[in-house]
Amino acid sequence: MESYSDKVDRPVSTSIYFLLPSGSISSLHRIPCAETWHFYIGEPLTILELHDDGHFEFTVLGSDLEAGHRPQYTVPPNTWFGSFPTLDISSYSTDGSVLAKAPRREPELHYSLVGCTCAPAFQFEDFELATQAEKLLTVAPKAGPLLEYIIQSN
């Protein structure tokens, strides 16, 4: 009898949890699997997605369901996405052309504890990190301020 492990070349899923303190971001990246984000404790976290047609989607993870927060959210495969502490940004436009940072907050006091589950399993060789805003400006030409913020430059 053939087992499930004989049919796939990787585990079914992987999961992690991590702390994202104020002043930090999860830089824009993409992977070929669905990634479900889970909110645990702390302040809200915004996940942003850049779609192939150039539009952004913003989803706030958090515990205040009445304010529209979601306790979990799944990013589709092959979508550029990243995240930031929601309260680190005082305002932004949905096309990415305007971004205003909030005053600095103490990372020891302001953070989000979140988790991610990937299915099929995450494999680092599938991970693609956005390294230059200029390359993605062809997809979202007005989004310079947002792309510069969410793409970690090294």
| Burial tier of 132 (Cβ tally within 10 Å: 0-12, 13-18, 19+) | exposed
Going along the chain from its start, the domains and CATH numbers come out as 8-150 (2.60.120.10)
Nearest one of 88, 81, 92 to 107, comparing CA atoms: 88
Interval 57-110: pLDDT, tens: 999 999 999 999 999 999 999 999 999 999 999 999 999 999 999 999 999 999
**Dmax over Cα atoms in the chain, in whole Å?**
61
For residue 3, the model assigns a pLDDT of 53
pLDDT of 150 strictly over 90: yes
For residue 132, the model assigns a pLDDT of 83
HSE (side-chain half, CA atoms, 13 Å) at 8: 9
For residue 71, whether the previous peptide bond is cis, meaning omega lies within 30 degrees of 0, is: no
Interval 112-121: pLDDT, tens: 999 999 999 9
Band of residue 6 on the pLDDT scale cut at 50, 70, 90: low
Band of residue 153 on the pLDDT scale cut at 50, 70, 90: low
Start-to-end CA span in the chain (Å): 50
pLDDT of 141 strictly over 70: yes
For residue 138, the model assigns a pLDDT of 87
pTM: 0.90
